[in-house]
Amino acid sequence: MIGYVVRRVLRALTTLLGTTLIIFVLVRVVPADPAVTIAGPKADPETLAMIRKDLGLDDPVMVQYGRYLARLARGDLGRSYMTGRRVAGVIAERVPATALIAGASLALGFFLGLVLGIATAARRGSLIDVVVLLGTLIGLSIPTFWLGNLLIYEFSYRLKLLPLGGYGTWTHLVLPAATLGISKFFFYARFSHSNVGGTLASDYIRTARAKGAPPARLYFVHALRNALIPIVTVLGLDIADLMSGLVLTETVFNWPGLGRLAVQAVFNLDVPLVAGTVLFAGVLVLVANLVVDLLYGVIDPRVQRA
């Protein structure tokens, strides 16, 4: 088990190093002059040259990359060009808002979708199975931003039951969490149906059924456990994706999360803030992959031996 964990951690660190290199290169090819962003378009050439020197932009590329890695090792993501604040602090302020909406939407979508997927997988070929599959297909085709605007129109504008947007109380959370939760519900219902349905056709399930295993144990223990690896894989990446920032949903509902922060950084050409949010998203994906890999070994010990 220790060797398995060490291999996965080393792989994650190597991928992280490659991620920092990609971000560093992309930041350098962005058609934006940091000196102009800081001093303004009307600044004189002497001022712009002095700012570039202070930022170390005149140094060789490898020196700049080494300095970038040294700062990252200290947890320093640089300072925002627009506000002068540390990027790490700005991102840390937005994480709770994104975590709140991500957790609420997953709690709604994943668990309800999982239950519905398993229930319909046990009745494959029936009328309810066909109806649910068609319903999830239609639900997956609905754009998130359109659904969000529809919910705002119905519950905020017409019925005046919930706020139009913003952040602060539980009422502000209902619509954005419902928008994402509905999308996740359709996805996980269909995904768990496909995986659990395939497992239910296995020989050991037929054997357990012949021995008189109760339906709840048959579906939620025997079948679900053996279908967990693909479900856990998707769930881990989904958590990382949600925590990286929900650009469309946060913009529609004026939610002060990481997605809206990234949009503002792009529009302001705030290169350190853009690089910081992208790196944060990359780290989340790597951590999610690492956790999922480790869970593989717990769910199925054969993975460790392989």
Where does CATH 1.10.3720.10 sit in the chain? 90-305
Give helix 258-267 / helix 271-299 axis angle, nearest 10°.
150
Contact 109, 185 (CB under 8 A): yes
Residue length of the chain: 306
Closest to 28 (Cα-Cα) out of 64, 54, 80, 63: 64
Q: Residue 294 has what pLDDT?
A: 76
Closest to 219 (Cα-Cα) out of 236, 243, 202, 233: 202
Q: Residue 168 has what pLDDT?
A: 80
CA distance 90 to 97: 12
Residue type, 58: D
What secondary structure, in 3-state letters, does the chain show? CHHHHHHHHHHHHHHHHHHHHHHHHHHHHCCCCHHHHHHCCCCCHHHHHHHHHHHCCCCCHHHHHHHHHHHHHCCCCCECCCCCCEHHHHHHHHHHHHHHHHHHHHHHHHHHHHHHHHHHHCCCCCHHHHHHHHHHHHHHCCCHHHHHHHHHHHHHHHCCCCCCCCCCCHHHHHHHHHHHHHHHHHHHHHHHHHHHHHHHCCHHHHHHHHCCCCHHHHHHHHHHHHCHHHHHHHHHHHHHHHHCCCHHHHHHCCCCCHHHHHHHHHHCCCHHHHHHHHHHHHHHHHHHHHHHHHHHHHHCCHHHHC
Q: Residue 5 has what pLDDT?
A: 73
**Predicted TM-score of the model (pTM):** 0.78
State the CATH class of domain 90-305. Answer: mainly alpha
Q: Residue 233 has what pLDDT?
A: 80
Q: Residue 265 has what pLDDT?
A: 85
Flag residues of the chain having pLDDT under 70: 1, 4, 30-33, 220, 222, 244-245, 297-306
Bridge partners, residue 79, by sequence: 86
